[in-house]
């Protein structure tokens, strides 16, 4: 199980026409957030199938995939890490995966890469541990590290915990990027959906007027029209 074998499997399911679509969707043009990212046109279910086929790939091979300029190779690496993490009961291996992930944030550099991995590895690992790393990441100049910070809290929300989500959301109220607004609004919406709408509303009552409109729109997406009008006024 090596890089060449995995690459061969991925290239076999690549689609040039799909690659053009994905390149536009993930904003790879000059000056856009995904500038320079290379797509070969593989949808997530096919990537996940290859990742599970190579779940026993070693960390050296995974590193090669993460170092690739090809987006789908990096996503495959992350899907392998998630699969390894979820399969094992070995806490030392979980720690190794967690630390390996954080050492490679420079390669986790688009929103799908973050969203399909952060909560499953970082969030899960921190469920019963100190969460200080998230408060370091949320203040990073790196857009994707900030997104990792807030998306990781999805694991906490699933366990009925929302305090860190709210604290990180408060820090991100002054962020300058739409992708952070959307991720933050999404996590607020998840608090309302999975834990309590009144708890989400309490946060909104305090912060809605200074929230970026995109963040607010995501947060109140499932509200009634009357509730939406109240918070947008």
- Render pLDDT for 215-233 as a digit per residue (tens, 0 to 9): 999 999 999 999 999 999 8
Residue 5 is predicted with a pLDDT of 97
pTM for the full model? 0.96
pLDDT in tens, 163-201: 999 999 999 999 999 999 999 999 999 999 999 999 999
How far the first Cα of the chain sits from its last, in Å, is 57
pLDDT in tens, 102-140: 999 999 999 999 999 999 999 999 999 999 999 999 999
Structure tokens, 199: 């708890």
Distant-in-sequence, close-in-space partners of 153: CB < 8 Å, separation ≥ 6: 119, 123, 134, 164, 165, 168, 187
């Amino acid at each position: 199980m090596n890089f060449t074998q995995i690459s061969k499997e991925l290239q076999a399911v690549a689609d040039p026409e799909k690659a053009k679509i994905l390149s536009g969707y993930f904003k790879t043009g000059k000056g856009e957030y995904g500038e320079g990212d290379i797509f070969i046109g593989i949808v997530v279910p096919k990537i996940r199938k290859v990742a599970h086929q190579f779940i026993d790939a070693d960390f050296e091979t995974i590193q090669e995939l993460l170092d690739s300029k090809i987006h789908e190779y990096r996503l495959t690496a992350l899907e392998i890490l998630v699969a390894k993490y979820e399969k094992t009961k070995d806490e030392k291996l979980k720690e190794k995966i967690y630390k390996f992930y954080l050492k490679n944030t420079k390669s986790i550099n688009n929103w799908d890469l973050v969203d399909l991995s952060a909560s499953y590895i970082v969030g899960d690992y921190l469920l019963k541990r100190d969460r200080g790393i998230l408060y370091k990441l949320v203040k990073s100049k790196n857009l994707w590290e900030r997104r990792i910070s807030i998306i990781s809290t999805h694991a906490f929300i699933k366990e009925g915990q929302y305090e860190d989500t709210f604290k990180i959301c408060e820090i991100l109220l002054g962020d300058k990027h739409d992708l952070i607004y959307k991720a933050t609004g999404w996590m607020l919406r998840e608090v309302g959906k999975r834990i309590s709408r009144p708890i989400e509303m309490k946060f909104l009552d305090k912060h809605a007027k200074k929230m970026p409109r995109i963040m607010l729109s995501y947060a109140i997406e499932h509200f009634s029209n009357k509730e939406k009008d109240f918070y947008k006024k």
